[in-house]
Amino acid sequence: MTTLNDKLIIKTPKNIYLEFELAGLGSRFLAYLIDTVIQLLLAFALIYILAIVFGILGAALNQVSLASSWQLALVGIIIFLIYEGYFITCETAWRGQSVGKKILNLRVVKDGGYPITFWDSVIRNILRVVDMLPPLWVIPSYGLGSAILLANAQSKRIGDYVAGTLVIKEKPASGFEHFSALHINPEYIRHIKIPFAHRIDGIEYYLLREFFYRKNLFPPDERQKMAQKLAIHIKKTIKLDPDTYTNDQRFLDDLMLLLESKRG
């Protein structure tokens, strides 16, 4: 794994090179601001609902207020769950993206370039409390996290180091995601016959996805060589007959369409 001019170059175990653009402090901060606004709206909505419920209960019990310590604790727990649960839920469901990251085309991935797991997201987000230090009155400054992020070549915060993750900047959705959203024909999908496609996950899926993103950036000869190398590797991984597809690029295209149609 090599870092050069905000680019991360990863050599996979199969001698395939992946190049990623690292997300900087500015884009990560903007994504965080968007996510924070969403979290605040969720928190205010829930607190408002709780206030109504507590008011109704208080009136029913002829009490002026039910703002006891356990109720305040409940509000605190809800706010904590919204803060942590929001990032963990989004990053798990959207393979490393929150709403803010989606808007700014950022994604959290493992150090090797493949998708994060649920526990990776849990670890990196629980440790946000450390990145927030030192507090400015009651407002988290993110001073420690920002200083560490700026001090290392891979733009990692503490949670990224512990979870073994990093944040990359992807190409806009005009590439693969646009294609997959608009051109998955259900009738065509039904005619794709690739046994054991469900075995594709982790690094193989990410390699396939990255090839789909970048294939048109390469000259035809180089693109064909990359497709052949990747197709051989994937067929071997899922124990598929090498002669199932004679056209490697067609095989990779069909496999990606099939996987995306099932992932929804």
Q: Tell me the pTM.
A: 0.66
- 74 shares its domain with 202: no
Residue 74 shares a structural domain with residue 158: yes
Within this chain, do residues 130 and 22 fall inside the same structural domain, yes or no? yes
Domain shared by 155 and 240, yes or no: no
Same domain, 67 and 186: no
Mean pLDDT of 132-150: 74
Residue 208 and residue 82 share a domain: no
Looking at 142, 169, 196, the residue that finishes a domain is 169
Percent of the chain with pLDDT over 70: 78
pLDDT at 175: 43
Q: Which residue has the higher pLDDT, 29 or 14?
A: 29
- pLDDT at position 97 is 92
Domain range for 205: 176-263
Chosen domain end from 123, 147, 169: 169
Residues 152 and 214 in one domain: no
Per-residue pLDDT at 110: 87
The domain boundary, picked from 112, 147, 169, lies at: 169
| pLDDT higher than threshold 70 for residue 246 | yes
Of 12-21, 91-100, 166-175, 188-197, give the range with the top mean pLDDT. 91-100
Mean pLDDT of 95-123: 90
Q: Do residues 25 and 9 both lie within one domain?
A: yes
DSSP the chain: -EEETTEEEEE-TTS-EEEEEEP-HHHHHHHHHHHHHHHHHHHHHHHHHHHHHHHHHHHHTT-S----HHHHHHHHHHHHHHHHHHHHHHHHHTTS--HHHHHTTEEEEETTSSBP-HHHHHHHHHTHHHHTPSEETTEE--HHHHHHHHHSTT---HHHHHHTEEEEEPPPTTTHHHHHHHH--HHHHHT---TTGGG--HHHHHHHHHHHHHGGGS-HHHHHHHHHHHHHHHHHHTT--TTS-S-HHHHHHHHHHHHHHHH-
